[in-house]
Amino acid sequence: MPDIQVEVAYATPEKQQLIALTVPEGSSVDSAIKASGILTEFPEINQKPLTVGIFAQICDLDRLLTSGDRIEIYRPLYKDPKEARRQRAKKK
């Protein structure tokens, strides 16, 4: 099987990481995340359930990748975005 190029992305307020890697064709999102080594650098993302997407479209960890996919690992929201906007508007 040929190899494909993918990226794994994760960001915290302090640091952003984008890792390019080559995986075998037929690899899943989960296997690419593990192969990227990002779980070692950001151990907090080992929490379950893990929410991921490809180019901002939520997907399952068992989804098969195609060449050029960017896997995005999402952090849980601590504030509802609508509520945060309301609070900022009240301050003005």
Q: What is the pTM of this model?
A: 0.80
Q: Residue 1: how many CA atoms within 13 Å on its side-chain side?
A: 10
The predicted-structure confidence for 11-27, as pLDDT tens digits, reads as follows 988 899 999 999 999 99
| pLDDT at residue number 49 | 80
| pLDDT at residue number 19 | 97
Q: Write the DSSP string, 13-26.
A: SS-EEEEEEEEETT
Q: Which domains does the chain have, with CATH numbers?
A: 3-91 (3.10.20.30)
The predicted-structure confidence for 32-79, as pLDDT tens digits, reads as follows 999 999 999 998 887 778 899 999 999 999 999 999 999 999 987 666
Smallest Cα–Cα separation from 69: which of 34, 21, 35, 10? 21
| pLDDT at residue number 53 | 97
| pLDDT at residue number 84 | 75
Radius of gyration of the chain (CA): 16
